[in-house]
Amino acid sequence: DSDSRRVDPGPTPPAGIDDALTALRQIVGETNVLTDPDAMAGFLTDWTGRYRGAADAVVRPRTTDEVSRVVAECARSGVRICVQGGNTGLVGGSVPPARDGSTNALIVLSTVRMTDIGDVDTVGRCVGAQAGATVGAIDDRAGRSGLAFGIDLASRASATAGGVVSTNAGGTRMIRRGNARSQILGIEAVLADGSVLRRWTSLVKDNVGYDLPSLLAGSEGTLAVITRVLFTLVAPPAVATVAVAAVERVENAVELLGAASSAGLTVEAAELMTEAGVALVADHGHRRPTTAPGPFYVLVELSGTGDIESATTELLGATDGVIDAVLEPAPARALWAGREGHTEAIARSSSTPVVKLDISVPIRALPEAFAELSRVGVDDRFPCRPILFGHIGDGNIHVNLLDVPPEHATEVTESVFGIVTANGGSISAEHGIGRAKVAWTHLGRDATDLATMRTIKAALDPRGLLNPGVLFG
Ligand code: MLT
Ligand code: ZN
């Protein structure tokens, strides 16, 4: 992936793009086709700064009809399309490839103007949102009707409906509500020829053939451009408590979750942190969660009936290895900020783009895998600082390797993946494959599985115009 990291101003635009741009301007309006390098810059670099690409234009449609006409024009003129939502993805999947010698032009299709959210159906508990509506805005809209969006993540202010669905994002509520795929009732998407696929029903049971919305979830923009999503909404718990405990061992955190369930409490979220991460976040302005430090910290949000605070205190008292703990009624934003501040604090503290590896292992293997992963890159060949955190209830560890000399990025990635596969885990728990992990999909899927995915891709996008270089090499 060293190529995709190089800043590429791009050679002379391929012949024929001018005609296509004229047509695109007629569809979305002059001001919504950006070609100025400064105006395009933010759309060509990912959040991590590790992936940069080149494009002939950034096109910002407003409606499904405009997306359909944009895609039809691209199909007619052979222009490739990189679909972009909030551009908060962490695997390079939402930015275009570097200019690769292809004679085909490429546009970024940004959903930034597609932010409409419909009325909440309080009986059917669902809401429709355009692809560019943010997770935060959808949750706010649901909240006004006493409901909540089942997806939440630290990037809620920027991450979009289309982005979380196309990457099948997980986030902090996954343990309780499932991933983005589980929140979908219906979907509207534009296929590679410009036709509109519409599966839009609030029916909970509807078994007429293939589940195409599920197929598009997690397809990372390679099969269609998602334009609208009908999301199921959830009833938030009446009362919940957030506790952060400093613990001696990862095992203690795992045991705490099991004990919470056995005690009849509902685990709404469960996050693991380390002293290295908490110290870094504290350096960036957040308060330390507990007075006494621990080598590890577990944040749990628990709900149930009765006196949740007393039940949580009792639970913490009965759990081995608890050094210190704090409790606050949900939403306990300050406690959550200490967890959610990790990504930014880590990004700001590394001298090189962080090698971010989002992996999962079976819960029973988690303590051992966590220990092994904490040692990756810690040797005398080159300096490298691992900081691990993650969604412990899902066996999902975010392995962040700081200060990795770029020429060693592949080496440390393979060390991590070696540990993951030896423990029966996945090389991508919730961030997807993007550009970052294309070379390693065989570690997660066998040959027949990969060939079937290629067959589906070839059937829906035979000319490879949608998100080239993402998911498939
Ligand atoms: C998170 O859990 O905060 C996100 O997945 C972001 C990250 O992994 O850095
Ligand atoms: Zn995460």
Model confidence at 380, in pLDDT bands (50, 70, 90)?
Answer: low
What is the per-residue pLDDT for 54? 96
Gap from CA of 92 to ligand 1 centroid (Å): 14
Q: Which residue has the higher pLDDT, 397 or 376?
A: 397
CATH classification at residue 281: 3.30.70.2190
Residue in 299, 343, 392, 396 to alter for ligand 1 test, most ligand atoms within 8 A of Cβ: 343
What is the per-residue pLDDT for 450? 97
Model confidence, pTM = 0.95
Return the HEC string of the chain.
CHHHHCCCCCCCCCCCHHHHHHHHHHHHCHHHEECCHHHHHHHHECCCCCCECCCCEEECCCCHHHHHHHHHHHHHHCCEEEEECCCCCCCCCCCCCCCCCCCCCEEEEECCCCCCECCCECCCCEEEEECCCEHHHHHHHHHCCCCEECCCCCCCCCCEHHHHHHCCCCCCCHHHHCCHHHHEEEEEEEECCCCEEEECCCCCCCCCCCCHHHHHCCCCCCCEEEEEEEEEEECCCCCEEEEEEEECCHHHHHHHHHHHHHCCCEEEEEEEEEHHHHHHHHHCCCCCCCCCCCCEEEEEEEECCCCHHHHHHHHHHHCCCEEEEEEEECCCHHHHHHHHCHHHHHHHHCCCCCEEEEEECCHHHHHHHHHHHHCCCCCCCCCCEEEEEEEHHHCEEEEEEECCCHHHHHHHHHHHHHHHHHCCCECCCCCCCCCCCHHHHHHCCCHHHHHHHHHHHHHHCCCCCECCCCCCC
Q: From the alpha carbon of 431, which atom of ligand 1 is closest? A: 5
What is the per-residue pLDDT for 431? 97
70, 148 contact by CB (below 8 A)? no
Q: From the alpha carbon of 396, which atom of ligand 1 is closest? A: 2
Same domain, 357 and 310: no
Q: From the alpha carbon of 271, which atom of ligand 1 is closest? A: 2
Gap from CA of 7 to ligand 2 centroid (Å): 28
What is the per-residue pLDDT for 421? 97
Task: Give me the domain span that covers residue 359.
Answer: 350-448
What is the per-residue pLDDT for 13? 58
Q: Is residue 140 in a domain? A: yes
C-alpha to C-alpha distances, 353 to 209, 307, 338, 435, nearest whole angstrom: 44, 46, 22, 15
Determine the Cα–Cα distance for residues 133 and 158; give it in Å rounded to an integer: 9
Give tens-digit pLDDT for 304-324.
998 999 999 999 999 999 999
CA-nearest residue for atom 7, ligand 1, is: 343
CATH classification at residue 149: 3.30.465.10
Last residue of a domain, one of 340, 374, 399: 340
Residue in 342, 392, 400 to alter for ligand 1 test, most ligand atoms within 8 A of Cβ: 342
Q: Is residue 455 in a domain? A: no
Determine the Cα–Cα distance for residues 426 and 83; give it in Å rounded to an integer: 25
pLDDT, averaged across the chain: 94
Same domain, 147 and 211: yes
Q: Is residue 256 in a domain? A: yes
Q: From the alpha carbon of 340, which atom of ligand 1 is closest? A: 3
What is the per-residue pLDDT for 429? 97
Same domain, 147 and 230: yes
Same domain, 185 and 130: yes
Mean pLDDT score, 221-239: 97
* Ligand 1 cavity residues, CB under 6 Å: 90, 154, 343, 358, 398
Same domain, 15 and 104: yes
What is the end-to-end Cα distance of the chain in Å, rounded?
11
Gap from CA of 5 to ligand 2 centroid (Å): 23
Gap from CA of 170 to ligand 1 centroid (Å): 10
Strands 106-110 and 80-84: parallel
Last residue of a domain, one of 234, 249, 269: 234
Model confidence at 384, in pLDDT bands (50, 70, 90)?
Answer: confident
Q: From the alpha carbon of 170, which atom of ligand 1 is closest? A: 5
Gap from CA of 338 to ligand 1 centroid (Å): 13
Gap from CA of 152 to ligand 2 centroid (Å): 10
What is the per-residue pLDDT for 101? 77
Residue in 46, 87, 153 to alter for ligand 1 test, most ligand atoms within 8 A of Cβ: 153
Is 0.85 exceeded by the ipTM?
yes
Mean pLDDT score, 425-437: 97
What is the per-residue pLDDT for 9? 45
Give residue for tokens 């503290």. 349
Same domain, 264 and 357: no
Q: From the alpha carbon of 398, which atom of ligand 1 is closest? A: 8
What is the per-residue pLDDT for 360? 98
Gap from CA of 398 to ligand 1 centroid (Å): 7
CA-nearest residue for atom 6, ligand 1, is: 343
Last residue of a domain, one of 79, 110, 141: 110
Q: Is residue 429 in a domain? A: yes
What is the per-residue pLDDT for 347? 96
pLDDT at 412 over 90: yes
pLDDT at 1 over 50: no
Q: Is residue 462 in a domain? A: no
CA-nearest residue for atom 8, ligand 1, is: 398
Q: Is residue 116 in a domain? A: no
Give tens-digit pLDDT for 82-140.
999 999 999 999 999 998 777 789 999 999 999 999 999 999 999 999 999 999 999 99
CA-nearest residue for atom 9, ligand 1, is: 343
Same domain, 225 and 244: no
Gap from CA of 342 to ligand 1 centroid (Å): 8
CA-nearest residue for atom 5, ligand 1, is: 171
Same domain, 20 and 81: yes
Gap from CA of 171 to ligand 2 centroid (Å): 5
Give tens-digit pLDDT for 251-283.
999 999 999 999 999 999 999 999 999 999 999
Gap from CA of 397 to ligand 2 centroid (Å): 8
Model confidence at 4, in pLDDT bands (50, 70, 90)?
Answer: very low
Same domain, 136 and 173: yes
Q: Is residue 121 in a domain? A: no
Give the chain's domain count: 4
Same domain, 365 and 296: no
CATH classification at residue 383: 3.30.70.2740
Q: Is residue 345 in a domain? A: no
Q: From the alpha carbon of 390, which atom of ligand 1 is closest? A: 2
What is the per-residue pLDDT for 175? 97
Give tens-digit pLDDT for 187-223.
999 999 999 999 999 898 999 999 999 999 999 999 9
Q: From the alpha carbon of 343, which atom of ligand 1 is closest? A: 9
Gap from CA of 405 to ligand 1 centroid (Å): 22
Same domain, 188 and 245: no
Determine the Cα–Cα distance for residues 264 and 307; give it in Å rounded to an integer: 12
Same domain, 97 and 16: yes
